[in-house]
Amino acid sequence: MMDVDLAQRLKRIPTTIACDILKDQALAERSAQGLSPMTPEVRLAGPVRIIEFLPGRPEIRRAGPPANFAIIDALQPAEVLVLCAGDSMAGAVLGDMLATRAQSLGGGGAVVDGAVRDLEGLALAGLPVHARGVAPMAAHATLVPFACDRPARFSGVTVMPGDWVLADRDGVLFLTRALVDLLLERAEAAMAKDEFSRQLLLMGFPLTEVFPLPAALIGLLDTFLAQGAMPPPETVQTALAQEA
C-alpha cells in the first residue's frame, strides 16, 4: 500500500485508541511529552523525516542556505518532518515558509521538539504542526541543522529512521511499521466497541456493566454495526443478565 493511503488510514485512529491497542508495547518509550497542536489542523500521520539540530558554534555553521532547506525540498508525500531541537526554545526551527513548502510537496505534517513561529502563516499553510511552543525569532543564531535520517532524541524518547508518527490533541506516538500494521488491523473493531459503549452510557447503563464492552454484548454490537441502531435497553439488560 502506498504511504499516502496508509497515512490517511492511520490518521483516522485516535492516539488513545492506539495506546489501548498497543498497551503491551512499551508506550512510555514511544510517546513524546510536552507538545501541543500549533495549527487548526491537528491530526497527522506518516513516515518520519528526521532533522537533528545542535546548539550553534562556528565550526559547524556552513555558508549558504541551511541544510534543512534541502531536506524539506526533497520531502516525499505523506512524510512528516520530525525536527529534533533538544527542547530548545531559543529560536523557532519551523515557520510559515518552511511549512508552506512542505505542504506543497504533500507532506503529512511536522512535530517539533522546540519552537515554531508565524502561527497565522502556519494556519494558512495548512500543514498540521505540533510543537513545544512559540518563539518570534528564527533559530539561525542558536541552532544549526546538523544531521538527518539517523536515530535522534525527541522530547525524551528515541525516534528512528523507518518510524511512523501518529499525533492528535492527546499526544504524539512514534511507531514501527509493524505496529502501524497491527493498529490498522485492530483499530476498526476497537473504535466500534468504544462507540457502542459510549452509546450505552448515554442510555444510562453504568460503567461497570458496559465499559470495557463485555463479551455478552458482542452480538448486540454486531447488530448495531449492521443496522446502525441501538438495541432497546431491555435487550441489553437481558444479554447482561445471561452473562451473570
Q: What pLDDT, in 10s, does the model give residues 137-196?
A: 999 889 999 999 999 999 999 999 999 999 999 999 999 999 999 999 999 999 999 999
Residue 230 lies in a domain: yes
Residues 126 and 215 in one domain: no
Cα–chain center distance at 192: 20
pLDDT of residue 57: 87
Q: Mean pLDDT for the chain? A: 95
Residue 83 lies in a domain: yes
- For residue 39, the enclosing domain spans 3-182
Residues 133 and 228 in one domain: no
pLDDT of residue 62: 80
pLDDT tens readout for residues 21-65: 999 999 999 999 999 999 999 999 999 999 999 998 888 888 778
Amino acid at 29: E
Helices (H), ranges, 105-206: 119-125, 177-202
pLDDT of residue 51: 98
**21 near 182, Cβ under 8 Å?**
yes
Residues 63 and 136 in one domain: yes
Residue 231 lies in a domain: yes
Residues 155 and 215 in one domain: no
Residues 86 and 174 in one domain: yes
- Please give the grid coordinates belonging to residue 54: 545542535
| Number of separate domains in the chain | 2
Q: Give the containing element (helix H, strand E) for 210.
A: helix 207-210
Question: Which DSSP letter does residue 76 get?
Answer: P
In the predicted structure, residue 119 carries a pLDDT above the cut 90: yes
Burial 193-209 (b: 16+ CB within 10 A, else e): bbebbeebeeeebeeeb
Contacts of 4 (CB under 8 A, 6+ apart): 77, 78, 106
Cα–chain center distance at 66: 27
Tell me the pairing of strands 109-116 and 92-94.
parallel
How sure is the predictor about 243, in pLDDT bands with cuts at 50, 70 and 90? Answer: confident
Residue 229 lies in a domain: yes
Closest CA to 84 of 10, 172, 146: 146
How sure is the predictor about 244, in pLDDT bands with cuts at 50, 70 and 90? Answer: low
